[in-house]
Amino acid sequence: MNTQPRLTRNQDMVFRVLVDAKTPLSAYTILDQVREFGIRAPLQIYRALDKLQGWGMVHRLESLNAFIACARADCQRHEMVAFAICDKCRHVSEFSDAQVKAHLDNWVGDKEFLANQTAIEIRGTCRACAR
């Protein structure tokens, strides 16, 4: 988890696209939106995403194969983060629960498992879509 320098051109473009979209985007969708600025290949997107993830500015949603900008103004804190993903409108709520983190930490501690990264993704229907 590196410390974050100034963004490069590609990184900045990718990040802006994700910030503007309120919804998760696949790498190829991002690509489509930056083609007009000269980016042509998927790898250019994936490389930028890797860096942005490393800095905690972007999260990968494993169950969607998609990416979303970090919801928190200050992207420095990296506690355990969880997502509630609406399967109807694709809205994503990001939250972090200290108690959930504590319990999982506890479990892996017991097993002497060295946790690196944790994905918690709840799929379902948000309140707005539930009617």
Asked whether the beta carbons of 57 and 70 are under 8 A apart, the reply is: yes
Q: How far is the CB of 73 from DNA (least distance, A)?
A: 23
Residues 84-103 binding a second copy (CB under 8 A) are 84, 86-87, 93, 95, 97, 99-100, 103
Burial 16-34, CB ≥16 within 10 A → b, else e: ebbeebeebbebeebbebb
Residues 24-43 as x/- pattern, contact with DNA by CB under 7 A: --xxxx--------xxxxxx
Asked whether the beta carbons of 58 and 49 are under 8 A apart, the reply is: yes
Instruction: Rounding to the nearest 10 degrees, give the CA dihedral for residues 96, 113, 51, 88.
Output: -50
Q: Mutual orientation of helices 27-34 and 9-20 as an angle, nearest 10°?
A: 110
Indicate which of DNA, a second copy, none lies near residue 114 (CB less than 5 to 8 Å, by partner kind): a second copy
Query: What residue ranges bind DNA (CB under 7 A)?
Result: 5-6, 8-11, 26-29, 38-44, 46-48, 51, 65-66
Query: What residue ranges bind a second copy (CB under 8 A)?
Result: 62-63, 65, 82, 84, 86-87, 93, 95, 97, 99-100, 103-104, 107-108, 111-127, 130
